Amino acid sequence: MADPGHPVKCSPVMVDGVALNGPTVNILDSEDFLQQSMAIILEDAVKKATDVKEKVCEWRPPEELKELLDLELRDEGESESQILQRCRDAIRYSVKTTHPRFFNQLFAGLEPYSLVASCIVEALKPSAYTYEVGPVFTLVEDAVLRKMMELVGWEEGGDGIFNAGGSMSNMYAVNLARYHHCPDIKQLGLSAAPRLVLFTSQECHYSISKAAAFLGIGTKNVYKVPSDESGKMIPSALEELIKKAKSEGAVPFMVNATAGTTVLGAFDPLEEIADICGEHNLWLHVDVTNSVAWNPHKMMMACLQCSAFLVRDKTGLLQRCYSASASYLFQQDKFYDISFDTGDKSIQCGRKPDAFKFWLLWKAVGARQLEQRVDRALAMARYLADEIKKREGFRLLMEPEYANVCFWYIPPSLRHSSSPSAVLLLPLQVAPVIKERMMKVGSMMVGYQPHSDRANFFRMIVISPQAGKADMDFVLDEIHNLGKDL
Amino acid sequence: MADPGHPVKCSPVMVDGVALNGPTVNILDSEDFLQQSMAIILEDAVKKATDVKEKVCEWRPPEELKELLDLELRDEGESESQILQRCRDAIRYSVKTTHPRFFNQLFAGLEPYSLVASCIVEALKPSAYTYEVGPVFTLVEDAVLRKMMELVGWEEGGDGIFNAGGSMSNMYAVNLARYHHCPDIKQLGLSAAPRLVLFTSQECHYSISKAAAFLGIGTKNVYKVPSDESGKMIPSALEELIKKAKSEGAVPFMVNATAGTTVLGAFDPLEEIADICGEHNLWLHVDVTNSVAWNPHKMMMACLQCSAFLVRDKTGLLQRCYSASASYLFQQDKFYDISFDTGDKSIQCGRKPDAFKFWLLWKAVGARQLEQRVDRALAMARYLADEIKKREGFRLLMEPEYANVCFWYIPPSLRHSSSPSAVLLLPLQVAPVIKERMMKVGSMMVGYQPHSDRANFFRMIVISPQAGKADMDFVLDEIHNLGKDL
């Protein structure tokens, strides 16, 4: 290949026995492979994976799957046709989380625009730390954050950062609240500080405890506020716990409220909690006051992962809290407006431009349709709940407030009582056994779990516009088919 | 569309004014769009982006680029042809980090096998927390971690986790070292603990300070050990600082050693540091003793981000340190071997299966070629250093130990002295002005920065097998062309 950029010279230039002339890897040699792989991805990982007539999963136990995949990494490489087969196998044995009958997680469905944005990002390999390296993506992030803050209701704007998932957003919040409470902790650490306490409901996501452990606050200093039957934090109980912490000599600094709990999909009463926070001067996360963690990879269907942390602060708090001012990235003598070098607000160094996956989708679909999709998912959840109430052998745990529908299935042999306490007598293994059969058949995926004194129940999440009423009916029919002999 | 899975019914089922029949989004409707987008990605983001005859960047200042991109998110969506144009524009104005003449970061080049793996992951939307949801990807991660530990020299194996970047790996290390030192801190926090101190060289990556701030240790409790001229930690200085910390009543718990510093590419003397750690009973990170942070997205060229944290521990330390035991994900009554449910070792909840991007690449290329690529990159760095020494107006900062080549360019008008101190008199703005011109021309990208009392110099990273000797020569010619009038 003789071109003006990479001229071929006759004599090899050798350093330490290595020839340095020309590139040793040329993308053009891989063009066929890339074309064929993309065709496989479109056929198997997109069309077939989302086809309701195909299986959700092709279950194999770990030891068998290990054999099938031939995981070992060897000294010699393999041919392109072998690698293409590996791609087919990896797709075949993967769970199809984009299948219309995957209801197992708080994400579902496939949004083609977001997929294209993801693939652009993968090919371009950008990092969102500086405008220099990621001009398009730092601007896109800025635009998306502004729009999200507008939707949250912060007319005055604020600050924010996309990061590696909702758990990370919650860690950002806890650390920022601590920094806001006492900036000296960034330099001096907690060993000289009083015992700091944060409050969250017993129904909160486990990332709050992980954050407390990781950030040196300690999991015992996460005071879990009791929730009511529907999963909402009880404000009077919060107030009591704050007083208790203070009476112990500890220092409350933050309340984490949850808008859509993981299991029940419950919304904490934000206004009442905000009032209590105002009174006690506490940072409130996930509210209209201080900060919000919002994952567009859930109900907005952006490709995984797409998570934003938003802060209602315009004084540069996020930058002051997180900055380390690395001189090799964040030079102050650059020739452009360095306010777009947002990397120093992050705990990461390299950081994927996840905002782009939301931006392109939003551009294509528009805010109105995004809103309609949410409305439809919530209506679908209510339809499912109503069906559950109508069907014999099904029992709704509670009316859904969000897209989570929690319910028991009671096999005919166990339907000895029509009283509400029947489900409490339900053998623990009913849901796990149905789940096992469901995975082995591969017809659908719905999660299960116990909850305080409630026996294992199904937690079904309804998100994707690729699922319809027929899929709701199918799930209930199929659970009955899989469990009626138990 | 009438199919057995999604039958069409005549009367719409309405809930809250929303029709629920059938899916409202169908992937098949997007097939053309996906085909066309993939063609654009292959043409513009892969072939053109890596073509040495094309520009590395198409520089626009932020305000102008904002206008060009039309970033606003509106209520109504756009047509597919408009979205395709947005894809072309996003690619056009992005920096081509995969271009053979991008030497600006510690990553470079494009590895087609890794790109295909990335796109499979994006389409399948897996999360690596449980075998249930990510059977292929949890097994792949396990296999890759084992192989990496073997290469690190841990015949007995260990534990590990892929995570969202090298900064995160370092945070994992600091927290794990702390947990190992005193497990009670996980529950009780640091407020009751003595002042913990960790040691790292003054040349270490800034993520160590970020970790100390985030984890509640405090940046002042990161004791920076002096490095020698070549950027290596001075062991005797480490020993002195450990004694100093103890005499202050603080508790040393960890040493972070760096194998390839960010700026100079220096390797700390691991064996001597390991001896000191052994003597003082300190956790050593990045060594053959306790833990390692390894980013295959750098020299191994896996797509961004691909970062592993490895621990030489087989007692489940990682799990104990990080677990929160969420009942909705990590049920203990599952029907398969739950040791593959690795999510509770992570600070994230959802987590991308980044190991797959390294695995497929390794399968295709083989360990031997990966090794040859590293050898070649190091030989290329030595060739570049030798050229710099030969050329008038260029001055090498130090002999490269790794793939980082640091050097000054002295414009003819400033070459008044041949003494080594000439570079100290170099006006600060020489490198920034050349960088500005380089970006505006778009011919290549090389970073610059100051370093202690040294004026701004270029830091060029040589990684990609897509770059050859001609590209090294080009960089030096181009810097001279861009800066000779200064």
Q: Is B399 within the bounds of a domain?
A: no
CB contact under 8 A, A468 and B6: yes
DSSP letters for A168-224: HHHHHHHHHHHHHH-TTHHHH-STTS--EEEEEETTS-THHHHHHHHTTS-GGGEEE
Q: Is B319 within 8 Å of chain A by CB?
A: no
Query: Is B102 among the domain residues?
Result: no
Q: Which residues 230-259 of B have a C-beta within 8 angstroms of A?
A: none
Average confidence (pLDDT) over A31-38: 96
Q: Is A37 helix (H, G, I), strand (E, B) or coil?
A: helix
Residue A406 lies in a domain: no
Residue among B53, B124, B144, B185 with most chain A CBs within 10 A, to mutate:
B124
Task: Supply φ then ψ for residue A250, to 5 degrees.
Answer: -85, 170
In this prediction, residue A4 has a pLDDT band, given cuts at 50, 70 and 90, of: very low
Which pLDDT value is given to residue B425? 62
Average pLDDT (A317-324) is 88
- Residue B248 is assigned to a structural domain of this protein: yes
Are residue A311 and residue A351 in the same domain, yes or no?
Answer: yes
Q: Are residues A224 and A326 in the same domain?
A: yes
Output the pLDDT for position B418. 57
pLDDT of residue B455: 87
CB contact under 8 A, A91 and B120: yes
Residue A157: pLDDT over 50: yes
For residue range B338-348, what is the model confidence (pLDDT) as tens digits? 888 888 888 88
The CA distance from A144 to the nearest CA of chain B, in Å, is 8
- Residue-averaged pLDDT of chain A: 90
Q: Give the DSSP H or E segment for A120.
A: helix A112-124
Residue at A266 is within a domain: yes
Residues B136 and B90 in one domain: no
Residue A179 and residue A220 share a domain = yes
Contact A167 B347 (CB under 8 A): yes
Residue range of the domain that includes B76 = 14-96
| The pLDDT of residue A6 is above 60 | no
Mean pLDDT of A269-289: 87
> B116–A216: do the CB atoms touch at under 8 Å?
no
- Whether B116 sits inside 8 A of A41 (CB atoms) is yes
CB atoms within 10 A of CB A425: 12
Q: What is the pLDDT of residue B287?
A: 58
- Asked whether the beta carbons of residue B324 and residue A210 sit closer than 8 angstroms, the reply is yes
pLDDT tens digit sequence for A89-114: 999 999 999 999 999 988 999 999 99
Same domain, B246 and B191: yes
Specify whether B143 is located in the same domain as B233. Answer: yes
pLDDT of residue B423: 61
Same domain, A77 and A133: no
Confidence class of residue A15 from pLDDT cuts 50, 70 and 90? Answer: confident
pLDDT at B469: 93
Q: Do A52 and B78 touch (CB under 8 A)?
A: no
Q: Which two tokens stand for residue B55?
A: 């520009």
CB A53 within 8 A of CB B3: yes
- Burial classification of residue B166, based on how many CB atoms lie within 10 Å of its CB (0-12 exposed, 13-18 middle, 19 or more buried): buried
Please say if the pLDDT value at position A423 is more than 70.
no
The predicted pLDDT at position A346 comes to 85
Q: Are residues B81 and B131 in the same domain?
A: no
Residues B335 and B218 in one domain: yes
Confirm or reject contact between A156 and chain B (CB < 8 A): no
Contact list, A75 vs chain B (CB under 8 Å): 366-368
Is the pLDDT confidence value at B118 over 50? yes
Q: Report the largest interatomic distance among the alpha carbons of chain B, rounded to a whole angstrom.
A: 89
Domain boundary among A53, A76, A96: A96
Structure tokens at B312: 């030489």
Question: Is the model more confident about A226 or about A426?
Answer: A226
Using 50, 70 and 90 to split pLDDT, how confident is the model at B44? Answer: very high
**pLDDT category of residue B420 using cuts at 50, 70 and 90:** low
Beta carbons of A266 and A403 less than 8 angstroms apart: no
A187-201, A423-437, B228-242 — which is least confidently predicted?
A423-437
Measure Cα distances from B419 to B391, B395, B412, B451 in Å: 15, 11, 15, 19
For all residues of chain B together, what is the average pLDDT?
A: 90
Angle CA B13–B17–B21, to nearest 5 = 30
Domain-ending residue, one of A80, A96, A112:
A96
Residue A344 lies in a domain: yes
Q: Beta-carbon neighbour count of residue B72 at 10 Å?
A: 11
Task: Count CA atoms closer than 13 A to B43's CA, side-chain side.
Answer: 10
Residue B136 sits in a domain whose CATH number is: 3.40.640.10
Q: Are the C-beta atoms of A113 and A365 separated by less than 8 Å?
A: yes
pLDDT of residue A349 exceeding 70, the answer is: yes
Rounded average pLDDT over A113-139: 93
pLDDT at A380: 94
Q: Three-state DSSP class for B302?
A: coil
Classified as helix, coil or strand, A292 is: strand
Nearest of A79, A351, A44, A385 to residue B119 by alpha carbon: A44
- Model confidence at B1, pLDDT cuts 50, 70, 90, reads very low
Phi-psi region of B311 (alpha: psi -120 to 50; beta: other; left: phi over 0): beta
Residue type, B38: M
Mean pLDDT of A179-184: 94
Nearest CB neighbour to B116, from listed A87, A327, A364: A87
For residues B69 and B130, state if they share a domain.
no
Mean pLDDT of B42-57: 95
Name the DSSP letter for residue A33. Answer: H
pLDDT band at B421 (very low <50, low <70, confident <90, very high): low
Of A52, A97, A379, the CB nearest to B5: A52
What tens digit of pLDDT does each residue of B368-387 get?
A: 999 999 999 999 999 999 99
A404 touches chain B (CB under 8 A): no
**Which residues in chain B are closer than 8 Å to A71, comparing Cβ atoms?**
139-140, 142-143, 359
The predicted pLDDT at position B4 comes to 45
For position A326, what pLDDT does the model report?
Answer: 79
Amino acid at B140: V
Chain A / chain B CB contacts < 8 angstroms: 615
Domain count for chain A: 2
Residues of A in contact with B263 (CB under 8 A): 328
Taking the CA of residue B482 and the nearest CA in chain A, the distance in Å comes to 15
Q: What is the mean pLDDT of residues A428-442?
A: 92
pLDDT at A375 over 80: yes
Instruction: Indicate the range of A12-16, A257-261, B306-310 predicted with least confidence.
Output: A12-16
Tokens of B145: 């971690």
Residue B181 and residue B300 share a domain: yes
d(CA A401, CA B313) in angstroms, rounded, equals: 44
The per-residue DSSP string of B428-474 comes to TTHHHHHHHHHHHHTS-EEEEEEETTEEEEEEEE---TT--HHHHHH
Mutate to test the interface with A, among B214, B405, B464 (most CBs of A within 10 A): B214
Pick from B207-211, B265-269, B286-290: least confident: B286-290
- Residues with Cβ within 8 Å of A173's Cβ and at least 6 positions away in sequence, in order, are A211, A254, A256, A283, A285, A286, A291, A293, A309
Q: Which of residues 267-286 of A touch B (CB under 8 A)?
A: none
Q: Is residue A165 part of a domain?
A: yes
Residue of A483, B312, A105, B26 whose CA lies nearest to B34: B26
- B-chain CB neighbours of A431 within 8 Å are none
Indicate if the pLDDT at residue A181 is higher than 90: yes
Question: Which residues in chain A have their CB less than 8 angstroms from residue B77's CB?
Answer: 363-366, 369
Domain final position from B297, B329, B355:
B355
- pLDDT-based confidence at B419, cuts 50/70/90? low
pLDDT at B275: 94
Per cent of chain B over pLDDT 70 is 95
Do A265 and A310 lie in one domain? The reply is yes
| Mean of pLDDT values over A14-25 | 84
What residues in A contact B262, CB-CB < 8 Å? 326, 328
Measure the CA–CA gap between A156 and A145, rounded to whole angstroms: 13
- In whole angstroms, what is the distance from residue A219 CA to residue A224 CA? 10
How far does B136 lie from chain A, in Å, by closest CA? 6
- Residue-wise pLDDT for A357-374, tens only, equals 999 999 999 999 999 999
A447 falls within a domain? no
Does pLDDT of A3 surpass 80?
no
Rounded to a whole number, what is the distance in Å from the CA of A292 to chain B's nearest CA? 17
Distance of CA B128 to the CA centre of its chain: 19
